[in-house]
């Protein structure tokens, strides 16, 4: 049994590395382009790109494109091969029809929407073009999710690299060479997205056909409705902050927040290295009672790993921003530690929600995000007018914590993973102390870099001193991320 469990954990680790590489490749394009964006786009331009992206994301939620997430559940729990194919083809047809219909509708009412978002129609042309990425991204996401479900990590990475090269190439051409500013970013996204969409559509139809099963769609949609509602409320939280920030501070502040968010998202992306494989593997762990201890061990390893990753990003993002960006973006560095903490809370939500998903109690996801929306709105209205982007970041930390805590409590009622939070609390306290310590110093250049190295060493040493990390945990983390030979132990 031990050998079997060890082999299972090793597979999670190895798949995580490969899927994680694909995820990193897919998301790294915006990060690679950041030095160029922060030199060829001013903060107002960057803020405009952020608002355009959020606007399109809103409509993807309204038409129920979260249905792709539900595809995992119905595909992985289905045993019949033909029915598995029907799940994929049904989702593909539904997503295609819904995305095209919504894109056409939004295009017709683009003038009114742009004025509502930007308070003027300066970006009406860019918005009309960008709305069609609603179609390209929706179909592409079905394809990438399908590749995850059939566990072909090498293909996932190959397509991710292909996407990355397209994005970089088109952005260099439109933004740097032609200097088209916001329009250049839109052209780049639409051009690369169109090519990937065509590739994915051909691959999906060849593998699964293009049949639509009405009764299956109804089942999937009913399962998805609470998540659509929850996601819509969640999007409200992500949109209202930038809308209020634009209202009180202008697009410049939105641009500052966007750059800070890119650095904080590194934590979420790296966490996704693990989560790409774990999303499917955790259902297998649940089915085998003898493997339930894996939940406890994996959580402990993740707390340590994400804690160290989070403080690293929070500290060294300042050095990177000072090196790559113009002075107008320097304020972003001070916001990153808050956003990193918010991202960490949000990332663990997907670890805690298993009981809710297994027992189809997805209504709790709506209640959780509704709680987050209420708390976030109160903090945003109270703090943004006086403290700007810093007030927003603090409110997001509190709101994300509340949402994740609710999901954990609700999910535990249906399935208790036996998790312990003692080490997580210590990691959180040490993180806050190190961030406060670094905030005392107002330095840059090499002195700042050396201070951050010293602070990172202190952070790790404190984790050892307080018993958060031991040799067994280091071995477990190594095994989880790279594959190992011995089973995890308490």
Mean pLDDT of 401-414: 94
Interatomic CA distance for residues 66 and 38, integer angstroms: 32
Quote the pLDDT of residue 391: 95
| Mean pLDDT estimate for the chain | 85
Interatomic CA distance for residues 316 and 437, integer angstroms: 14
Are 179 and 237 spatial neighbours (Cβ–Cβ below 8 Å)?
no
What pLDDT digit, counting tens, does each position of 167-209 carry? 889 999 999 999 999 999 999 999 999 999 999 999 999 999 8
Kindly indicate the confidence band of residue 35, based on its pLDDT and cuts at 50, 70 and 90.
confident
pLDDT above 60 for 83: yes
Quote the pLDDT of residue 224: 77
Quote the pLDDT of residue 9: 53
Would you state the structure tokens that stand for residue 213, as one six-digit string?
Answer: 């099963």
Would you state the structure tokens that stand for residue 305, as one six-digit string?
Answer: 């790993």
Are 106 and 113 spatial neighbours (Cβ–Cβ below 8 Å)?
yes
Quote the pLDDT of residue 396: 95
Quote the pLDDT of residue 66: 65
Quote the pLDDT of residue 4: 54
Quote the pLDDT of residue 486: 38
Quote the pLDDT of residue 78: 78
Quote the pLDDT of residue 461: 93
Kindly indicate the confidence band of residue 489, based on its pLDDT and cuts at 50, 70 and 90.
very low
What pLDDT digit, counting tens, does each position of 427-475 carry? 999 999 999 999 888 888 889 999 999 999 999 999 999 988 876 666 6
Would you state the structure tokens that stand for residue 210, as one six-digit string?
Answer: 């293009």
Kindly indicate the confidence band of residue 341, based on its pLDDT and cuts at 50, 70 and 90.
very high
Quote the pLDDT of residue 63: 62
pLDDT above 80 for 211: yes
Mean pLDDT of 367-395: 93
Quote the pLDDT of residue 381: 94
Comparing 228 with 299, the larger pLDDT belongs to 299
Are 412 and 420 spatial neighbours (Cβ–Cβ below 8 Å)?
no
Length, in residues, of the chain: 490
Domain parsing of the chain, residue ranges: 33-212, 226-490
Mean pLDDT of 222-248: 78
Kindly indicate the confidence band of residue 483, based on its pLDDT and cuts at 50, 70 and 90.
very low
pLDDT above 80 for 22: no
Quote the pLDDT of residue 252: 93
Cα angle 156, 162, 168; round to 5: 130
Q: How many CB atoms lie within 10 A of CB 421?
A: 11
Mean pLDDT of 265-279: 78
Kindly indicate the confidence band of residue 17, based on its pLDDT and cuts at 50, 70 and 90.
low
C-beta pairs of 50-54 under 8 Å, 24+ apart in sequence: 50/242, 50/254, 50/255, 50/257, 50/258, 51/117, 51/118, 51/242, 51/246, 51/251, 51/254, 52/123, 52/126, 52/127, 52/130, 52/182, 52/186, 53/130, 54/235, 54/238, 54/239, 54/242
Lowest-pLDDT range of 31-40, 189-198, 275-284: 275-284
Interatomic CA distance for residues 8 and 13, integer angstroms: 9
pLDDT above 80 for 24: no
């Amino acid at each position: 049994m031990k050998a079997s469990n060890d082999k299972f954990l090793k597979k999670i680790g190895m798949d995580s590395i490969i899927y994680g590489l694909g995820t990193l490749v897919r998301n790294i394009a915006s990060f690679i382009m950041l030095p160029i964006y922060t030199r060829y786009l001013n903060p107002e331009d960057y803020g405009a790109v952020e608002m355009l992206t959020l606007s399109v994301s809103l409509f993807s939620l309204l038409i129920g494109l979260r249905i792709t997430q539900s595809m995992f559940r119905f595909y992985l729990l289905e045993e019949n091969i033909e029915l598995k194919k029907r799940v994929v083809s049904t989702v593909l047809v539904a997503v295609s029809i819904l995305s095209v219909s919504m894109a056409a509708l939004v295009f017709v009412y683009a003038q009114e929407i742009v004025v509502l978002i930007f308070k003027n129609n300066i970006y009406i042309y860019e918005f009309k073009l960008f709305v069609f990425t609603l179609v390209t991204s929706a179909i592409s996401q079905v394809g990438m999710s399908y590749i995850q479900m059939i566990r072909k990590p090498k293909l996932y990475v190959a397509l991710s690299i292909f996407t990355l090269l397209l994005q970089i190439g088109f952005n260099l051409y439109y933004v740097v060479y032609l200097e088209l500013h916001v329009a250049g970013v839109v052209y780049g996204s639409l051009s690369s997205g169109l090519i990937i969409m065509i590739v994915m559509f051909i691959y999906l139809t060849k593998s699964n056909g293009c049949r639509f099963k009405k009764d299956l769609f109804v089942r999937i949609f009913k399962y998805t409705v609470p998540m659509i509602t929850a996601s819509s409320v969640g999007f409200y939280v992500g949109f209202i902050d930038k809308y209020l920030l634009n209202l009180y501070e202008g697009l410049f502040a939105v641009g500052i927040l966007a750059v800070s968010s890119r650095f904080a998202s590194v934590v979420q992306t790296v966490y996704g290295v693990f989560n790409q494989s774990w999303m499917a593997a955790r259902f297998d762990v649940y089915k085998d009672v003898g493997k339930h201890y894996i939940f406890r061990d994996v959580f402990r390893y993740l707390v340590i790993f994400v804690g160290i990753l989070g403080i690293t990003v929070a500290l060294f993002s300042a050095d990177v921003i000072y090196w790559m960006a113009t002075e107008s973006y320097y304020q972003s560095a001070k916001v990153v530690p808050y956003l990193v903490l918010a991202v960490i809370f949000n990332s663990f939500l997907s670890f805690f929600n298993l009981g809710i998903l297994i027992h189809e109690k997805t209504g709790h996801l709506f209640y959780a995000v509704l709680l987050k929306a209420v708390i976030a709105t109160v903090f945003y209205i109270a703090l943004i007018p006086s403290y700007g982007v810093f007030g927003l970041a603090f409110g997001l930390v509190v709101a994300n914590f509340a949402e994740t805590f609710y999901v954990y409590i609700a999910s535990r009622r249906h399935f208790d993973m036996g998790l312990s939070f003692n080490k997580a609390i210590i990691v959180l306290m040490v993180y806050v102390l190190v961030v406060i310590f670094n905030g005392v110093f107002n330095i840059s250049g090499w002195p700042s870099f050396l201070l951050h190295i010293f602070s990172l060493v202190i952070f790790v040493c404190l984790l050892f001193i307080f018993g958060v990390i031991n040799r067994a945990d280091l071995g477990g983390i190594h095994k989880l991320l790279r594959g190992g030979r011995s089973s995890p132990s308490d």
